[in-house]
C-alpha cells in the first residue's frame, strides 16, 4: 500500500460522512419543487472540489440547472483528463416502497441506501476524494484534471451539448473519464466499451379526409391501418431481423473482446424471459444470441401505434389516418441520418397508391458509442481493475444509449472511458437504491491508481 | 285516377299539416333530455293510427322507449302485411348549421326541411294516411294490416329483437314492408334488395408482462406491435382482397339484377374519391368495381389499432401489448359465427411463438340481408314503382347493415320488402334534413297501389 492508498484507508469514515451529507440533498432534476435541492447540491459539489485543492471552481449557467466546472492544470507536459459526473437524481417515487427514507442515507449489510447514492453521487465523489488525497499528501496532482458535473442527466441532459460546445476551450482534454455508468454484474468485473445510438421518427399515413362509415365505404375507401400494417410488416423478417435495404450497411465489426464476453457471460435465456414475464419462444434462443441482440445488433422497434377508435366496444369507422412511432438503436458505424433516410425511403417504396405518407423527425438522434479498443487508457483501466478485482474485466456493451459519449467526441474530439463503481443491480431508478460500500472504498484505490498511471502514459 | 288516389290528392294539404305537426315533436332517442318528445311522438303515432281506422292500437313497453303496435285484421283469407317504421330521430346537432330551425318544419323549393322528416317520419306517415283513405272511402282495408313503429332505431334498436320475439304471435304476418330505408339516388328509381351483415371482434396480443425499456431490451424482448402488424398483413393481399382461408367460402351469388344495376349506375370513381377527400389510387378502379366492393364483396376492416405510447413526442418503450378492432361486412351466404372463427383460426395460425393472443367478441353479429329475388311482392313493388316513375327501378344493395331484416326473418319467418320514399341524399343524419314533397305525394299513391295489389296476390 502506497501513501495515497494509506491516506484513503484512513479517510474512509470521513468519506462516508461526506457521501451521506451529499445524499441528504434532495437534488431531483425533473421536478421544479426540488429547486433548492438542485442549488444546494451544485454548491455542495463546488465546495468538495475546492476542499480537494482545485484552484478554479465555477458554478456555470447552462440555460437549465447549473453545471459545476473545476480545473487543476498545474502539470505541464502531463496529460489532461476531464472527469464527467452528475449531481442530480431520479425522483424518489414510489416513496412508500422505500424501507428507509429516500433522502435519509442508511447502512444495511455494508450497503448505503439512498436515492442517488449509486447514480451518481457515490461514484462522482470518488475521484474528488482521490484528488483531495493527492492535495493533502503532495499538494499537487500528477496530471492535469478538469471536472464537469452536470445537474440534468436524469432529465436527458438537454443543455449538456450546448454547454460543452460553448466551453470547449476550457474543457479541452486528452481523455474523458466518466464516473457515471455501471459495472454490468456484481459477480463479473466489467468495463463498458460500447453502447447503442438512437434515432426516433413517427410515420403518419392518411387516406380519406375524415373518418368514414365502415358499412357505406367498407371495401372501396382507403384504410390507413391496413396499409400501415402491411408496410410495417416489410421492415422485419419472421425472426425479427430488420430487412430495410441499407439499414445495416455501415455496421462495423465489434471489439472481439465484447464477443468473447458474450460467450463467457453465461446469460440465461429462460431466466431472461421469466424476468420480463414473457412466454418462452420456441425454440428458445441461446443466452449468447440474446446478449448479441441486446448489445451488438441494431434494432427497429415500434414504440406505439394508433389509428381509429381506441375506446371500449366497437365503432364502425374507417379511420382517416394511422400512425406509428419508431425508435432504432444503432451500433458502431451507423450514421443516424442515413439510417433514418433508409427507413423513410423504404416505407415510401412500399407505400400503396391512394394514401399520403408523412414522416416526422423525433429528435436529432445520436450515434452509437464505441471506445477505440486499442486506446492505451482502456488497457490501463483494465489492468487497474484486474489487479484489484482478481480477474480480467469483461469488455461489455450496453443496449441503451449514452448520448454523452457522442457529446464529448463531437465537441472536444476526446475519447471517453467509463470508470464507474456502481453496479447495474443497485436499483438506481427504483425504490431502495443502494451502493455497495466495498465498491466505494475499492473505487478510491482504483481511481488513485488510474490517475497515477495515466500521468505516466 | 281511382277513388283512393283522388281522395289522397284532395287530402294532400292536410297530410302535409300532419307531417309538420309530427316533425315539431322533438323525439331524439339517444338523449334523455328529449324524454317528453319521445312520449309525445309515440302518442302522436298512436292517434294517427286510431284516426286511420285501426281498431287495435297499443303503446307497448319494450324495456326502452315504447313501440306503437296496431292491428286491423278484418280481411279473412287475404294476406297479412306488417309495416315497420320508427318515430325517433337523430339529434339535431350541430344546431347552428341549420338554415331554419330543426324542429320548425319549413318548406323551400317543394322540400320540407326538419329533423326526422326523411328518416323516418314522412315515410312512415304515408302508409298510415293510405290506411285512412281506405277507411274513409270503404270503411275497410283489402288485406290485413299490422304496424310496428319503434322509438329506438337511431339508438341501434336495442329492444326491437326481444320485443318482436315476445310479441311474435301478435306480429305474425306473410310479409314485412319497411317504410324505413331510402331510394339510392334521386335520379334513379331503385329498390333495396340486399345489405351486408356485420361481425365485430377485437384481438389483443401480449408479449412481456409490462412495458420495457427499448434500449435495454430492444432486439431480445417480444414486441407485440411488430408481431401484430405482421399478422394483420396476412389478412389482405396487396389489392385489399381478404385472404383469410374460408372467409368467402359460403358466399352465394347475388341477384343478377343487382349486377345489372351496378353496370347501369354510371358510378363515378374519381368523384367518389374526391367526395371522401382521398388521393386517387393509380390505376383508378372503375365505378362498377367500386360499387361491387361496396355492395357485394365482404370486407374485413380495421376500425382501430393501439399499443404502446400514443402521446406527443417519443417514448422509448417496448409495449406489453397491442390490439386491433376489426369489423367485417358480410354478404349473403356467410354465417357470422363461421366467419369470426375463420379469422381467429387464421390469426392463431400465424401467431409467432413468444406471444399470447386473446380474441374478444364484440357483439353477436348479424347476417346479411338478401331478399328472395323471386318474391312475388318484390315484383309487385317494382311494377308499382315502374308505372309511377316511368322506368324500371334498379335493384340495389347497400354496404351498411340493416339488422331489422334479420330480426323479422328470425322471429316471424317473414321476408321484408323496403318501400321507402326518402332518398339517400336527404341529409338525414346531418343538418338541413329534408324530404322531397313530390315523393311524399307519390309515396301515397304507390302505397295505395301496393296494398291493393298485395291483397290480390
With cut-offs at 50, 70 and 90, classify the pLDDT of residue A50.
very high
Residues in B touching A305 (Cβ below 8 Å): 225, 229, 305-308, 322
CB atoms within 10 A of CB A13: 8
Better-predicted residue by pLDDT, B205 or A185: B205
pLDDT exceeds cutoff 70 at B1: no
- If one compares A206 and B429, the residue with the highest pLDDT of the two is A206
Name the pLDDT band for A256 (thresholds 50, 70, 90): very high
Residues 343-362 of B with CB under 8 A from A: 352-356, 362
Asked which of A118-122, A173-177, A364-368, B54-58 is least confident by mean pLDDT, the reply is A364-368
Q: What ipTM goes with this model?
A: 0.90
The confidence score (pLDDT) of residue B99 equals 97
Q: Looking at the partner chain, which of A218, A232, A304 has a beta carbon nearest the beta carbon of B329? A: A218
Residues of B in contact with A240 (CB under 8 A): 219, 223, 226
**Average pLDDT for B230-235:** 98
Q: In this prediction, what percent of chain A has a pLDDT beyond 70?
A: 100
**H/E segment holding residue A318:** strand A317-318
| pLDDT exceeds cutoff 90 at A262 | yes
Share of chain B above pLDDT 90, in %: 88
Indicate whether B75 pLDDT > 90: yes
Q: How confident is the model at residue A292 (pLDDT cuts 50, 70, 90)?
A: very high
Residue of A nearest to B310 (CA): A304
Of A200, A229, A325, the CB nearest to B232: A229
Of A213, A305, A317, the CB nearest to B400: A213
What's the pLDDT score for residue A313?
84
Contact A208 B354 (CB under 8 A): no
Q: In the sheet that B190-195 helps form, which strands lie side by side, from edge to edge?
A: B369-370, B190-195, B394-398
pLDDT at B406: 85
Contacts of B329 in chain A (CB under 8 A): 214-215, 218-219
Q: Cα angle vertex A13, ends A11, A14, to 5°? A: 65
User: Contact A214/B272, CB-based, under 8 Å?
Assistant: no
Residue B314 is predicted with a pLDDT of 83
Of A115-119, A402-406, B22-26, the least confident: A402-406
pLDDT value at residue A263:
93
Residue span(s) of chain A under CATH 3.30.70.360 come to 198-248+298-361
> Is the pLDDT confidence value at B364 over 80?
no
| CATH code of the domain occupying A198-248+298-361 | 3.30.70.360
Interface size A-B, in CB pairs within 8 Å, comes to 267
Per-chain mean pLDDT for chain A: 95
Q: Is the dihedral of CA B159, B165, B166, B171 positive or negative?
A: positive
* Mean pLDDT computed over A182-191: 86
Indicate whether A383 pLDDT > 80: yes
> Which residues of chain A does B228 touch, with a Cβ-Cβ cutoff of 8 Å?
229
CB contact under 8 A, B316 and A198: yes
- Looking at chain A, the whole-number percentage of residues with pLDDT higher than 90 is 88
Mean pLDDT of B394-419: 92
Contact yes or no for A304 and B304 at CB 8 A: no
Residue B136 near residue B55 (C-beta atoms within 8 A): no
B63: left (phi over 0), alpha (psi -120 to 50) or beta: left
Confidence band of B300 (pLDDT split at 50, 70, 90)? very high
Q: What residues of A are in contact with residue B209 (Cβ under 8 Å)?
A: 276-278
| Residue A207 contacts B, CB cutoff 8 Å | yes
Cell of B13: 294539404
Chain B residues closer than 8 Å to A208 by CB: 276-278
pLDDT mean over B142-154: 96
pLDDT at B179 over 80: yes
pLDDT of res. A334? 95
Name the fold adopted by B201-361: Alpha-Beta Plaits (3.30.70)
**B305/A229 touch (CB, cutoff 8 Å), yes or no:** yes
CB within 8 Å of A153: residues ≥ 6 apart: A29, A86, A88, A120, A160, A180
Query: B interface mutation test: which of A198, A201, A229 has the most B CBs within 10 A?
Result: A229
* Mean pLDDT to the nearest integer, B17-33: 96
d(CA A354, CA B279) in angstroms, rounded, equals: 5
Among B373, B359, B364, which Cα is nearest to B325's? B359
- In chain A, residues under CATH classification 3.40.630.10 are 3-195+368-456
CB A455 within 8 A of CB A142: yes
Residue B271 has pLDDT above 70, yes or no: yes
- Cβ distance of B354 and A279 shorter than 8 Å: yes
For range A21-26, the mean pLDDT: 98
The larger pLDDT score, comparing residue A51 to residue B401, is at A51
Q: Which of A216, A240, A290 sits opposite B399 (nearest CB)?
A: A216
- Taking an 8 Å cut-off on Cβ atoms, the answer to whether A302 and B277 are in contact is no
Per-residue pLDDT tens digits for B303-359: 999 999 988 888 889 999 999 999 999 999 999 999 999 999 999 999 999 999 999
Task: Give CATH for domain A3-195+368-456.
Answer: 3.40.630.10
pLDDT digits (tens, 9 = 90+) for B236-255: 999 999 999 999 999 999 99
* CATH level 3 topology of B3-181+402-456: Aminopeptidase (3.40.630)
Is some CB atom of chain B closer than 8 A to the CB atom of A96?
A: no
Amino acid at each position: 500500500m502506497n501513501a495515497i492508498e494509506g491516506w484513503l484507508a484512513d479517510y474512509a469514515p470521513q468519506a462516508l460522512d461526506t457521501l451521506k451529507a451529499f445524499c441528504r440533498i434532495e437534488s431531483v432534476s425533473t421536478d421544479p419543487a426540488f429547486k433548492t435541492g438542485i442549488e444546494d447540491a451544485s454548491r455542495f459539489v463546488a465546495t468538495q472540489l475546492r476542499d480537494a485543492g482545485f484552484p478554479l471552481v465555477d458554478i456555470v449557467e447552462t440555460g437549465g440547472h447549473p453545471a459545476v466546472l473545476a480545473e487543476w492544470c498545474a502539470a505541464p507536459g502531463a496529460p489532461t483528463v476531464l472527469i464527467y459526473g452528475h449531481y442530480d437524481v431520479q425522483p424518489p417515487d414510489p416513496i412508500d416502497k422505500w424501507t428507509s427514507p429516500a433522502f435519509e442515507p442508511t447502512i444495511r449489510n455494508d450497503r448505503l441506501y439512498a436515492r442517488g447514492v449509486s447514480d451518481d453521487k457515490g461514484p462522482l465523489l470518488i475521484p474528488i476524494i482521490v484528488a483531495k488525497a493527492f492535495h493533502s499528501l503532495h499538494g499537487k496532482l500528477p496530471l492535469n484534471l478538469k471536472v464537469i458535473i452536470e445537474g440534468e442527466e436524469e432529465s436527458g441532459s438537454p443543455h449538456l451539448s450546448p454547454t460543452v460546445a460553448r466551453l470547449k476551450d476550457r474543457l479541452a482534454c486528452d481523455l474523458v473519464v466518466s464516473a457515471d455508468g455501471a459495472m454490468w454484474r456484481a459477480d463479473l468485473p466489467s468495463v463498458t466499451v460500447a453502447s447503442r445510438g438512437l434515432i426516433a421518427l413517427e410515420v403518419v399515413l392518411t387516406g380519406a379526409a375524415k373518418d368514414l362509415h365502415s358499412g357505406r365505404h367498407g371495401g372501396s375507401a382507403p384504410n390507413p391501418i391496413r396499409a400501415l400494417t402491411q408496410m410495417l410488416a416489410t421492415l422485419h423478417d419472421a425472426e425479427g431481423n430488420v430487412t430495410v435495404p441499407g439499414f445495416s450497411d455501415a455496421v462495423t465489426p465489434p471489439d472481439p473482446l465484447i464477443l468473447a464476453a458474450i460467450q463467457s457471460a453465461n446469460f440465461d435465456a429462460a431466466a431472461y424471459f421469466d424476468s420480463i414475464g414473457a412466454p418462452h419462444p420456441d425454440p428458445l434462443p441461446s443466452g449468447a444470441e440474446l446478449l448479441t441482440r441486446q448489445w451488438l445488433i441494431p434494432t427497429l422497434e415500434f414504440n406505439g401505434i394508433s389509428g381509429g377508435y381506441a375506446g371500449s366496444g366497437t365503432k364502425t369507422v374507417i379511420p382517416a389516418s394511422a400512425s406509428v412511432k419508431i425508435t432504432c438503436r444503432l451500433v458502431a458505424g451507423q450514421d443516424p441520418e442515413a439510417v433514418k433516410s433508409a427507413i423513410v425511403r423504404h416505407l415510401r417504396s412500399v407505400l400503396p397508391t391512394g394514401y399520403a405518407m408523412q414522416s416526422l423527425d423525433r429528435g436529432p438522434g445520436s450515434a452509437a458509442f464505441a471506445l477505440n479498443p486499442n486506446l492505451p487508457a482502456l488497457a490501463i483501466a483494465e489492468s487497474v481493475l484486474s489487479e484489484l478485482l482478481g480477474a480480467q474485466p469483461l469488455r461489455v456493451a450496453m443496449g441503451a444509449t449514452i448520448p454523452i459519449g457522442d457529446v464529448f467526441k463531437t465537441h472536444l474530439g476526446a475519447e471517453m472511458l467509463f470508470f464507474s463503481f456502481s453496479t447495474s443491480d443497485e436499483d438506481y431508478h427504483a425504490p431502495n437504491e443502494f451502493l455497495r460500500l466495498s465498491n466505494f472504498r475499492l473505487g478510491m484505490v482504483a481511481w488513485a491508481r488510474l490517475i497515477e498511471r495515466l500521468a505516466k502514459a
